[in-house]
Amino acid sequence: MNNLNNKKVLLIICGGIAAYKSLEIIRLFKKNGVTIKTILTKNGAEFVTPLSITSLSQSKVYQDLFSLENEAEMDHISLSRWADLILIAPATANTISKLANGISDDLASTVALASNKKIFVAPAMNVRMWEHQSTKENIAKLKTYNYKIIGPTIGDMACGEYGEGKMLDPKEIINHLKSYFKNFKPKNKFKAIVTAGPTNEYIDPVRFITNKSSGKQGYEIAKSLSKKGFDTTLISGPTNLKIKNDINLIQVETAEEMFQATLKNLPVDVAIFSAAVGDYKIKKTSKIKIKKQDKLNLELEKNVDILNYVSNHNSLRPKLVVGFAAETNNLEDYANKKLIEKNCDWIIANDVMNKKIGFNSDYNEVSIFYKNDKIDKLAYKLKSEISDEIVEKIINHLN
């Protein structure tokens, strides 16, 4: 899984010979699906041009703190809030010293000071500068401010000397960011509900109507949410699956029980309805076992639509309501219809005719339909991987 996909990174390029490597960083960001904005310091512009950065990043380069044009488009505070993460590469001794001492006399240092996001610093400088007591003290200070210092490494320097001070290789920098996002947990614990599995609609005490759902997709979504720090409640119909204790598991049998359990656990930030809830129940369930007879007529009545009820609730509607659509044909049309009729924010549709995916398989292939007509397709992969990707999108949305 690509932990950088869809992330927003603000890259600050300072003035050092290693600035040329920032172009390779931008290229790798683009390859990994990262949206980039760049700040180029005055000294940085001596080494790389805004034109080469824009051509690679396909976005604007910000340079001046007091630029009317920049402030009108995105002021320095918005710029610092926009990013999921800030990377300073190369970070010079001068910039490191400014950050350590709260000096904000240009756009780069002001944005860093104003930021509420994780800041990665990739130092690059001459070995003597790196070993200087003042640099050591500044780096120690930055660590206490929760900056993440990556590198430098040892090697031949552009100035002809050898030692510690070389900026990390762009690939290594990218790997640091990947592992950061992999382990990232939202600070404020979001609350989530997931419904999963089938429901049993009883005919008599020993017989019921059910469907082929195993609960696997819903359980995997609950696991992915919990892994990312969500306070997760899983409301599950009858399945053979087990789940870790850090997920609040509520086991139910009928649609009515699933409905009541869902209501009891609201409000939440996000609700994901992956259960295959019986659309109908038996109008009059027999209290005793029905004896064999030539013909048996069962009258069915509609079950409450849990998703529909929650997504139209005045006060309890979660910030994000995600429905599923299990379809055997016309997947796109029916998914879009459900998106509108059930008032969901997203509908995740899967083809349940295809034996390799959908019901009971460990694999799935889904399309996510959004209100703005956008569709994301998640190709054939493990349900656990599909779930991780869905949860990444949820985190991006909530943030």
**Residue 169: strand, helix, or coil:** coil
Candidates 124-132, 174-182, 244-252, 305-313 — which segment interacts with ligand PMT by CB under 6 A? 305-313
Q: Write out the two tokens for 148.
A: 């993440």
Nearest to 199 by CA among 311, 274, 298, 271: 274
Tell whether residue 350 is a contact of ligand PMT (CB under 6 A). yes
Of 306, 308, 286, nearest to 297 by C-alpha is 286
Nearer to ligand PMT, 36 or 348 (CB): 348
Beta bridge partners of 322: 272, 346
Q: Toward ligand PMT, which CB reaches closer, 46 or 341?
A: 341
**Closest CB 280 distance from ligand PMT, rounded Å:** 9
8 Å CB contact between 38 and 65 = no
* Residue placing its CB nearer to ligand PMT in the complex, 252 or 352: 352
Q: Which stretch binds ligand PMT (CB under 6 A): 67-75, 126-134, 150-158, 319-327?
A: 319-327
**Helix boundaries (H) for the chain:** 19-31, 50-57, 68-73, 76-82, 93-100, 107-114, 127-131, 133-144, 170-182, 216-227, 255-264, 306-311, 331-341, 383-398
Residue among 79, 129, 134 at smallest CA distance from 108: 79
Is residue 393 at the binding interface for ligand PMT, with CB under 6 A as the rule?
A: no
Task: Supply the minimum distance, in Å, between the C-beta of residue 380 and ligand PMT.
Answer: 14
Residue from 41, 63, 232, 303 binding ligand PMT (CB under 6 A): 303
How many residues touch ligand PMT (CB under 6 A)? Answer: 29
If one asks whether residue 326 binds ligand PMT (CB under 6 A), the answer comes out as yes
Residue 81 three-state SS? helix
Residue 346 binds ligand PMT, judged by CB under 6 A: no
Give, as one character, the DSSP assignment of residue 289.
P
268 is an interface residue for ligand PMT by CB under 6 A: no
Residues 352-381 that bind ligand PMT (CB under 6 A): 352, 358-360
Nearer to ligand PMT, 15 or 218 (CB): 218
Site string (46-65) toward ligand PMT, x via CB under 6 A? --------------------
Task: Tell me the pairing of strands 153-156 and 162-166.
Answer: antiparallel
Q: Work out whether 325 is an interface residue with ligand PMT (CB under 6 A).
A: yes
140: left (phi over 0), alpha (psi -120 to 50) or beta: alpha
The answer to whether 196 and 26 are in contact (CB under 8 A) is no
The pattern of x and - marking residues 223 through 262 that bind ligand PMT according to CB under 6 A reads --------------------------------x-------
Strand pairing partners for 194? Answer: 234, 272
How would you classify the pairing of strands 162-166 and 191-196?
unpaired
The three-state (H, E, C) secondary structure of 245-285, written as one string = CCCEEEECCCHHHHHHHHHHCCCCCEEEECCECCCEEECCC
By the rule CB under 6 A, 200 interacts with ligand PMT: no
- When asked if residue 110 is in the footprint of ligand PMT (CB under 6 A), the reply is no
Task: Kindly tell me which residue out of 166, 216, 228, 281 binds ligand PMT, with binding defined by CB under 6 A.
Answer: 216
Interface pick for ligand PMT out of 190, 273, 346, 369 (rule CB under 6 A): 273
Q: Which of 13, 127, 222, 306 binds ligand PMT (CB under 6 A)?
A: 306
- Mind telling me the catalytic residues? 159
Q: Is residue 276 at the binding interface for ligand PMT, with CB under 6 A as the rule?
A: yes
Residues that bind ligand PMT (CB under 6 A): 195, 197, 213-218, 255, 273-277, 279, 303, 305-307, 323-326, 338, 350, 352, 358-360
